């Protein structure tokens, strides 16, 4: 079929996406609301000098959470777009991508295949871009002069190396990568310490080509005017733990050099020995409401612990519990004699417990705080690990509203797909009666 007359390529749409005057105003507003610190301004000037002079550059901005990486990246993007420079952006996860406008995951932007747990694809196949099958995307990437890559250390180095090769060593581009190596390393299924280290960008021969820039000031602590000294000490404590160094507030009990595991004692913190004490500490008087719940959570180590705590906390919600059941029959399966179908009894379904899907009977209440476990619509905030509040539960869909505190751990896990609906979100199951 011929393309429609109004058809535009990805590159044509991208060039029309931003108005230079509006981007100049956005930059002005960002500078007015959150002025740069001296080190932020120095980084901004250095990167913008490379962009305006079209010098091929690879930058990595290292900074702890709260050091202003996201805001600085937005200023760089706005300043570049205000002079009609084509910019693209991505992040290692869909949730991180929602911090920006029109960002995609690194896998999505550079067309890497995404495989589910249990797929037979070889590990190396996951790090081979399919850009050759998407000529429009290749044209867009070749034309872009600035690429911002957030949460960069979480991606496997093979992904960056493959992109580097596909895009002619980034000649003529300024690539700005950001993140914190004290946070999540690349995930290697059942991988040992050395395998994880080898997957890090630091182990790549390309790492030496990066200019490393540092953000050292925690802006969130500066903006908190209460207990400034305690906030400062707490920030230093987190850095010390992340870097494995000794401070007066941290006592290291052990360090396993082979696994990298470190055990610390953190003094002057309250300890609770009963579940009731912990629940009352997090949710005083056993009262829970959406605004209250989005600002706090229990952190649990195993999925079993998560399920147990979910059940306990959900009982604090006084709304009616509604049970939602998964499909109880096979669809499109080569089972002409019904042998497999007869094996899928309710008892079997109740015993099934997989990290990537909910139990056969999923119990939810209006007002529950849930987490989405699939990228659905990143521009609407429905990304993996985004937190939502359940507003309404129906037989075939769930209406939710995105929580403003989506970056805090969730209390519940909800495996759902959906579409945008009047500012809230309406979640529609991917099969007729399966959530």
Contacts of 277 (CB under 8 A, 6+ apart): none
The predicted model gives 337-360 an average pLDDT of: 70
Query: Does residue 365 contact residue 317 with C-beta atoms inside 8 Å?
Result: yes
Percent of the chain with pLDDT strictly greater than 70? 72
Q: What is the pLDDT of residue 217?
A: 83
Token pair of 353 as six digits: 């417990």
Kindly report the pTM of this predicted structure: 0.72
Ranges 39-48, 245-254, 402-411: which has the least confidence: 402-411
pLDDT at 18: 95
CA atoms of 241 and 252, how far apart (whole Å):
9
What's the half-sphere exposure (Cβ side, CA atoms, 13 Å) at 308? 9
Q: Which range is most confident: 4-8, 188-192, 379-383?
A: 188-192
Q: Which of 299-313, 375-389, 390-404 has the lowest mean pLDDT?
A: 375-389
CA-based torsion, 223, 226, 227, 231: positive or negative: negative
Percentage of the chain exceeding pLDDT 90:
38
User: How confident is the model over 200-234, as pLDDT tens digits?
Assistant: 999 999 999 999 999 988 777 666 656 667 767 76
pLDDT for the residue numbered 5: 61
Closest Cα partner for 46 from 181, 140, 203, 174? Answer: 174
Residues 345 and 294: their CA atoms lie apart, in Å, by 37
For residues 232 and 24, which has the higher predicted lDDT (pLDDT)? Answer: 24
Give the chain's domains with CATH numbers.
10-219 (3.40.50.300), 224-266 (no CATH), 275-427 (no CATH)
What pLDDT, on a 0 to 100 scale, did the predictor assign at position 41?
Answer: 97
Q: What is the mean pLDDT of residues 157-186?
A: 94
Q: How remote is the C-alpha of 47 from its chain's centroid?
A: 25
d(CA 117, CA 304): 19
CA distances from 135 to 10, 142, 174, 385 (A): 10, 10, 22, 31
pLDDT surpassing 60 at residue 312? yes
Six-digit token pair at 288?
């829970």
Q: How far apart are the first and last CA of the chain?
A: 36
pLDDT confidence of residue 115 = 65
């Amino acid at each position: 079929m011929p393309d429609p007359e109004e058809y535009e390529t990805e590159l044509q749409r991208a060039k029309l996406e931003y108005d230079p005057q509006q981007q100049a105003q956005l930059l002005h507003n960002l500078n007015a609301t959150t002025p740069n610190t001296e080190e932020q301004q120095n980084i901004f000037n250095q990167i913008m000098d490379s962009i305006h002079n079209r010098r091929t550059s690879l930058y990595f901005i290292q900074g702890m959470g709260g050091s202003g990486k996201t805001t600085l990246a937005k200023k760089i993007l706005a300043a570049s777009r205000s002079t009609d420079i084509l910019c693209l952006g991505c992040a290692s996860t869909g949730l991180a991508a929602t911090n920006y406008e029109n960002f995609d995951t690194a896998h999505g932007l550079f067309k890497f295949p995404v495989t589910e747990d249990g797929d037979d694809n070889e590990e190396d196949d996951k790090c081979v871009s399919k850009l050759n099958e998407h000529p429009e995307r290749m044209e867009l990437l070749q034309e872009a002069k600035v690429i911002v890559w957030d949460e960069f250390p979480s991606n496997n180095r093979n992904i960056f190396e493959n992109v580097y090769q596909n895009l002619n060593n980034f000649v003529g581009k300024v690539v700005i990568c950001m993140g914190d190596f004290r946070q999540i390393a690349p995930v290697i299924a059942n991988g040992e310490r050395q395998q994880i280290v080898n997957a890090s960008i630091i182990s790549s021969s390309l790492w030496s080509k990066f200019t490393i820039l540092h953000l050292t000031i925690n802006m969130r602590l500066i903006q908190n005017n209460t207990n400034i000294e305690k906030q400062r000490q707490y920030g230093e404590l987190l850095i010390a733990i992340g870097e494995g160094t000794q401070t007066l507030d941290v006592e290291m009990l052990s360090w396993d050099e082979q696994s990298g595991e470190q055990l610390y004692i953190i003094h002057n913190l309250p300890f609770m020995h009963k579940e009731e004490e912990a629940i009352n500490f997090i949710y005083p008087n056993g009262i829970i409401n959406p605004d209250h719940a989005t600002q706090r959570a229990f952190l649990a180590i195993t999925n079993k612990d998560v399920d147990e705590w979910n059940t306990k906390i959900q009982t604090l919600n006084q709304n009616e519990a509604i049970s939602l059941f998964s499909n109880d029959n096979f669809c499109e399966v080569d089972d002409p004699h019904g042998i497999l179908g007869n094996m899928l009894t309710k008892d079997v379904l109740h015993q099934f417990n997989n990290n990537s899907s909910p139990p056969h009977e999923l119990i939810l209440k209006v007002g529950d705080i849930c987490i989405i476990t699939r990228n659905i619509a990143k521009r609407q905030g429905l990304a993996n690990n985004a937190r939502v509040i359940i507003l309404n539960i129906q037989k075939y869909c769930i209406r939710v509203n995105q929580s403003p505190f989506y970056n805090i751990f969730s209390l519940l896990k909800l495996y759902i797909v959906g579409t945008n609906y009047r500012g809230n979100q309406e979640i529609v199951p991917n099969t007729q009666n399966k959530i």
